[in-house]
Structure 1
């Protein structure tokens, strides 16, 4: 009996190890910033861009008093959002993009708390997230509504456990016409979980991968506009909305 129990435990441990290794290998097969993006946003050479505490921080020369925390999509490297980070910083925002454990935002939901407490400068913080990163951002915001000025969903939406419909949290949802992963139907269904005054913006011709600059993504549809057109539209809509909210 003891031998059976011993080998059962060994077998279970072996299965756990194999499953973890498979998950780890899968999580490391990430989407990286394109070469054109790394040439456009020179992270290592820009004195206003800093890598700190596993965060990519974009500082502004002339702060407008607002900060943006952007949770990456699943398996997407933080550098892929460098154009959004740099462009918003040029408009006065402090932007922080945290690297997530195993590149999955759900394993780092509370990164926003660490970021907010780390900055000496008092800022009005907006929490944003792309795809699964937006789901995690909504989860954090729902439990910390006194710390967050507003939520910006990028091809994303909250789960039922983060139901904002009865509150007045400012919410912006940006989605894309040709998104094969977060569809228009998904966005439509999410409206019941958002405040009645939530703002929605559809990017005509855009797709899921266009919320970052990392090339094609499995399961996505083809965009009919360039990634730079989509990025510029995202940045403009975010800026306009945050200035009003």
Structure 2
């Protein structure tokens, strides 16, 4: 009996190690910046665990963008560059295991790095939006607004009774965050939340990293989708 128990425990241990190892390998199979991003932006250089873009003059406000699951922060370099040219300091964090929920508190780092910036908007793409919502829910006094890119909050983060500006940008051809998901999320957001649909856009083009498994094909070029995102964010995120 003792031998059977011993062998069972050893077997369970081996299976657990194998499962953890497989999960780790999966998290390292990331979506890298596309050739189009490199063409538009050049090489994106991370700094102390962040991709940072600063405006040429003093920042109007700050934006923290949590990346989607297994998407490298550099893949949002074009968005960050364009927003910085509009006067915002933009920070995109590297997160443990390339999964934003492992680094929910990262926004605090960049906020402390720029103490002169008094207004911060926090948001994210896909799973990054879930992480951003979690941060926002626990730090309402520190942020000026919350935004989602093909994303929505988890059921535990209810903003329906909160006085907080919220923007949800979603795409018509998104194969991972459906229109049904967006509709359901409305019950968790304030009544005055702003919803903006990108016609012909898809999930992967909220970044620039090429096609994504499970997504639908976009009907507009990635740069056009990204430019619409920038315009919608700038119109909403008032300095």
Q: TM-score, normalization: structure 1? A: 0.93
Q: Secondary structure of the equivalent of 2:142? A: coil
Q: Does 1:13 align with 2:42?
A: no
Structure 1 stretches of at least 4 aligned residues deviating more than 3 Å after TM superposition: 1-9
Matches within 5 A, 1:148-187: 148-187=143-182
Shift of 1:5: 4.4
Q: Secondary structure of the equivalent of 1:109? A: helix
Matches within 5 A, 1:80-91: 80-91=75-86
Q: Deviations over 1:167-205 (max 9, x none)?
A: 111100000111111111111111010001100100011
| Matched residue count | 239
Instruction: Select 2:190's aligned residue among 183, 195, 198.
Output: 195
Q: Secondary structure of the equivalent of 1:235? A: helix
Matches within 5 A, 1:61-210: 61-210=56-205
Q: Secondary structure of the equivalent of 2:51? A: strand
Q: Secondary structure of the equivalent of 2:195? A: strand
Shift of 1:12: 2.6
Q: Secondary structure of the equivalent of 1:70? A: strand
Q: Distance in 2 between matches of 1:10 and 1:139?
A: 38
Shift of 1:60: 1.1
Identify unmatched segments of 5+ residues in structure 2: none
Shift of 1:227: 0.6
Q: Secondary structure of the equivalent of 1:205? A: coil
Alignment root-mean-square deviation, CA: 1.5
